[in-house]
Chain A
């Protein structure tokens, strides 16, 4: 197992480098002038612009710029934005917001998604099952963007239950955006759980468990749920890494100062260093949680062995 993890970690390096280089190339290599874009309406003198270009290595060939960037990166230096503020500071300041948002979203996936899936799966084709099927179909068809506004309007403005923007009310502020961010995955988790449970209820080993005269609760919890939740747990694990991408829209609409909002703002401002820094971090999270899931899978299912 240890060797497997080590090998997987090594394999993530090319992906990490490739993805960050891809973004790096888009930000810096495509024709266009970030310095001029930065200047916007304010005319900058040629001298200032040249100085800025030099500072950001913009005169070097692309590959050299990237090598210099990675060289700094491994020393913990993610560069600075055009205002001279270290990118690492921005990330450290913004990350807790996104982490909290992700925690709330995952909690909703587990609380609502898994519970609804279990109840639907145990009584397949019952009323609740059909309710879950219909509502998940509707939920997955609603773009996050739409869901964000509709929930702002209904729960925030009409009912006044939740704040519609900002983080002033602590964890409470994260409930609505967290639910919106989780919605799609939540529906998927409910369906996955339902299918998995309904399949497992018919499994031979569940029949064996009943033939052994085990109490009904043991049959369901120990011999059905335990097995059914393996794919669900691994999906939710992988979803942590994926939620970071979805956070861009949610954080923008709900005005949460997390890294999703930060990356959006810096794309708009063409703040190359911030964009590349945050995207690299997001890619790292994505790869990391996928690795965690693979390891988790082996822990949960003894049939899986990595050698």
Chain B
């Protein structure tokens, strides 16, 4: 991973409002080492406390997104009683109640689904755009590369939050599918549209690095098609760095979603989202700080889960760091 790529990643993260300085995947692999790379990496991951902390948190939040009722102690988040408004935590209601008197634990728990959904969908979008554009730019080079790289530069100069903010703000009046629906899909699309550049540069540089290798020349001499060479011989080399990047980016995008929703352009009520909960709790910070605190803590732990996993993965996949 070059300095430029590390800078890119850092830039993305500052933009998203979670600057994971750790997020600097420096992975450099050649295909002959792929197998030992993965088994060595697993050997190291197994012994990494950072990885296990992240993985346990990750499993908890993924289960929370899949089976929220288990974590909400069976309480329906929309079963509210105004009499309980802003109630503080108690033995029966661990996280108290929100302003409408809804059980806050249930609300916070049910928020995991949207966050993770947007994080995962957003990363899939980022990868789709990044891998396709990066592979084309790196593989064809010359003018194609210049044009695509300049386009990436243009997107790159725009702060992620700002681009997504504008797109989501004008989205509803456009009548376009997905983007006008103000749902998780729209947020994921907006994040992917302004967040694909680092993945693109990552894939592009890997493709350029491998393109001139002997085994690619051999495949070409055997008459393999461009597409086949790309998919079978070149892209597998980019898997390790892209995996590290994608893991961390899930966390980054979850934070970005909460920020956009907080700013009023992401998910809209009555959707359940940590960003909305923080926004609604903001004005009650003096009287009911738990309304901001609890979703904040869960949001942070979720982001941390992916950053820890990505961080550990990077260390494990970076052969240079092994002694």
Chain A contacts to B: CB under 8 angstroms: 14-16, 18-19, 22-23, 26-27, 30-33, 37, 136-138, 140-146, 149-150, 152-153, 157, 183-185, 187-192, 231, 235, 238-239, 242-246, 248-249, 252-253, 263-264, 267-268, 270, 275, 279, 282-283, 286-287
Contacts and interface: CB of A to CB of B under 8 A. Distances in A.
Given A187-B21, A188-B10, A282-B159, A143 B282 contact: no
B3 interface: yes
Contacts, number: 186
Nearest to B303: A141
A283 B157 contact: yes
A231 to B, nearest CB: 7
Interface in B20-42: 20-23
Contacts of A283: 157-158
A243 B161 CA distance: 12
B51 to A, nearest CB: 12
Contacts of B50: 137
B180 to A, nearest CB: 9
A246 B17 contact: yes
**Residue among B158, B159, B161 with most chain A CB within 10 A:** B159
A14 B289 CA distance: 48
Contacts of B176: 30-31
6 contacts: A19-B157, A26-B166, A32-B170, A141-B304, A143-B18, A157-B285
Contacts of B73: none
B47 interface: no
Nearest to A113: B21
Contacts of A188: 10, 19, 21
**Residue among A22, A31, A140 with most chain B CB within 10 A:** A140
Nearest to A32: B173
B285 A152 contact: yes
Given A145-B278, A264-B263, A267-B166, A184 B173 contact: no
Q: Can you list the 5 inter-chain pairs with the closest CB atoms, starting with the nearest?
A: A184-B19, A245-B159, A188-B21, A32-B173, A141-B304
Interface string B296-312: 10011001100110010
Interface in B249-302: 251, 255, 258-259, 262-265, 275, 278, 282, 285-286, 289, 292-293, 296, 299-300
B20 A141 contact: yes
Given A18-B151, A141-B251, A157 B286 contact: yes
**Residue among B22, B293, B303 with most chain A CB within 10 A:** B22
B18 A140 contact: yes
A207 to B, nearest CB: 19
B161 A145 contact: no
B78 interface: no
Contacts of A153: 285, 289, 292-293
B18 A142 contact: yes
A27 B173 contact: no
Nearest to A293: B7
Nearest to B166: A26
B7 A27 contact: no
A23 to B, nearest CB: 6
A149 B251 contact: no
A305 to B, nearest CB: 17
Given A33-B173, A149-B296, A235-B10, A14 B21 contact: no
Contact of A243 (B14, B150, B169): B14
**Residue among A238, A244, A246, A263 with most chain B CB within 10 A:** A246
Contacts of B16: 143
Nearest to A190: B21
B11 interface: yes
A39 to B, nearest CB: 13
B292 A149 contact: yes
B21 A140 contact: yes
B281 to A, nearest CB: 8
A17 B265 CA distance: 26
A18 B286 CA distance: 45
Contact of B18 (A18, A144, A243): A144
B52 interface: no
Nearest to A245: B159
Contacts of A245: 14-15, 159-162
Given A27-B170, A145-B278, A184-B19, A248 B13 contact: no
A136 B13 CA distance: 14
Given A153-B292, A235-B10, A244-B159, A264 B282 contact: no
A137 B264 contact: no
